[in-house]
Amino acid sequence: MRSLIEPVIAQVLLEGLAQKNRRGGKLEPVLLLTSALLASAGGFLLIYAIYTGLLTYLSVPKAALAAGVITLLFASLSALGAAKAARRRRQRQADQIPLMAADLQKSLAQIGQELEIPVRSNPATALLIAGLAGFMSGKRLH
């Protein structure tokens, strides 16, 4: 029975820890929006500079086309870099989960071995304490 319960407890605790780590501060969205606006302004200025620079060598339609192609090239490279960084971050997190689960399984097994004798001698008290601990853990994780 204990071997069936331990993976469920481990999964619940890991999901609770993952949700707790996702919560950000109040300043983070403001900084992200500000940096996005500044990056957009810088991008527009860069496109304009490329366009005006190309006007000295090309006609207006060809300069606009070249500036558009260069802009799309930079945007594609940025998107690929962001996707690669996100994939690397997800892989790092996925690599940590089995290690955390193994450590948690070892801890639960050790706790189970240490509590087995007192639980067998006082089953009603153990059930009451386990129920209270489960209730408090549920409140804390959610």
- pLDDT tens digits in sequence order for the chain, 142 residues long: 455 566 666 666 666 655 555 555 676 777 778 888 888 888 888 888 988 998 898 898 888 888 888 888 888 888 888 889 889 988 887 787 777 778 878 887 887 788 788 888 888 888 888 888 888 888 877 6
Residue/partner pairs of 135-142 with CB below 8 Å, 24 or more apart: 140/16, 141/12, 141/13, 141/16, 141/19, 141/20, 142/16
Report how many domains make up the chain. 1
**Structural domain range at position 130:** 2-141
Q: Nearest Cα to 99, choosing from 17, 22, 24?
A: 17
Q: Checking phi first, is residue 7 left (phi over 0); if not, alpha (psi -120 to 50) or beta?
A: alpha
